[in-house]
Amino acid sequence: MSTRNLLAAALLAVMSGAASAEGPGLGQPLSDEEIPFYARYVMPDGRGLPEGGGTAATGSAIYAEKCATCHGATGIEGPVMPPVGPNDIWAKPAGRYWPYATTLFDYIRRAMPLDAPKSLSDDEAYALAAFILAANGVIGEGDTMDAESLPKVEMPNRDNFLDVWAKQGATPW
């Protein structure tokens, strides 16, 4: 490309709608395939949940192998924020305090176990979510958790939250 064409291209880039009023407009196009899964979050209504599924029985074995050291043999012992409640350590156990079950799947898949995050398959993450929910008595022992069933789980604490941002914005609670 000649110098003149380069200058023209640069001028066009600056003048195009892609450039913001205050910035040089250097953002590069981002295609869907370039976005890793953890750059999105599974939504409470289930949007973003992948195929696959799992049950508490499967999850129990994975839990014993990869989770129990931190969260306790049955999920109530801890020491790290036990997900099963009620327990004596943590007032907000994930499997009964969190408002939406979808968060369990997403967080397990992106962050757990702490020493090997993102190492679990979708099926394993579903199974662990099922195990934690069943241990809390929120679902039945034999229930399969998948993209269909997980968003339908009625978490016992769901309607017990006041949304402070909606109520008063940035005014401290």
Partner 1 sequence: MKRATDHPSVLDHVAGGGLLNRRLLLQGAVAGGGAALAGATMPRAARAQGAIPEWATVAGERARGYGMPAEAEAHVQRAILEPFADVAPQFSLSGTPHHRLRGTITPNGLHFEVHHGGRPNIDPERHRLMIHGLVERPLQFDLGALERYPMVTATHFLECSGNSLFNAIMPDPMQAGCDLLHGLLSNTEWTGIPMNVLLDEAGVKPEGRWLVATGGDGPSLARSIPVEKLMEDGMLALYQNGERIRPEQGYPMRLLLPGFEGNMNVKWLTSLWATDAPAHTKHESGEYTEILADGSSVKFTFAMGVKSVITHPSATMTMSGSGLYELSGIAWSGAGPIRKVEVSADGGASWAEAELQGPVLPRALTRFRLPWAWEGAPSLLMSRAEDATGAVQPTREAWKARYDASNFLHYNAIQAWQITANGEVQNVYA
Residues at the interface with partner 1 (CB under 8 A):
18-32, 34-35, 38-44, 69-70, 79-81, 91-92, 94, 97-100, 102-103, 106-107, 110-112, 114-115, 117-118, 157, 160-166, 169-173
Angle, CA of 38, 102 and 169, to the nearest 5°: 85
User: Is the Cβ of residue 3 or residue 23 nearer to partner 1 in the bound state?
Assistant: 23
Q: How far is the CB of 22 from partner 1 (least distance, A)?
A: 5
Q: How far is the CB of 39 from partner 1 (least distance, A)?
A: 4
Q: How far is the CB of 142 from partner 1 (least distance, A)?
A: 26
Q: How far is the CB of 132 from partner 1 (least distance, A)?
A: 12
**How many Å apart are CA 93 and CA 87, to the nearest integer?**
8
User: Is the Cβ of residue 11 or residue 57 nearer to partner 1 in the bound state?
Assistant: 11
User: Is the Cβ of residue 2 or residue 32 nearer to partner 1 in the bound state?
Assistant: 32
User: Is the Cβ of residue 2 or residue 22 nearer to partner 1 in the bound state?
Assistant: 22
Angle, CA of 144, 148 and 149, to the nearest 5°: 45
Q: How far is the CB of 121 from partner 1 (least distance, A)?
A: 17
Closest residue by Cα to residue 47 from 153, 148, 144: 148
Contacts 24+ apart (CB under 8 A), 117-120: 118/38, 120/62, 120/66
Distances from the Cα of 67 to the Cαs of 63, 76, 96, 122, 131, in angstroms? 5, 12, 18, 16, 11
User: Is the Cβ of residue 112 or residue 134 nearer to partner 1 in the bound state?
Assistant: 112
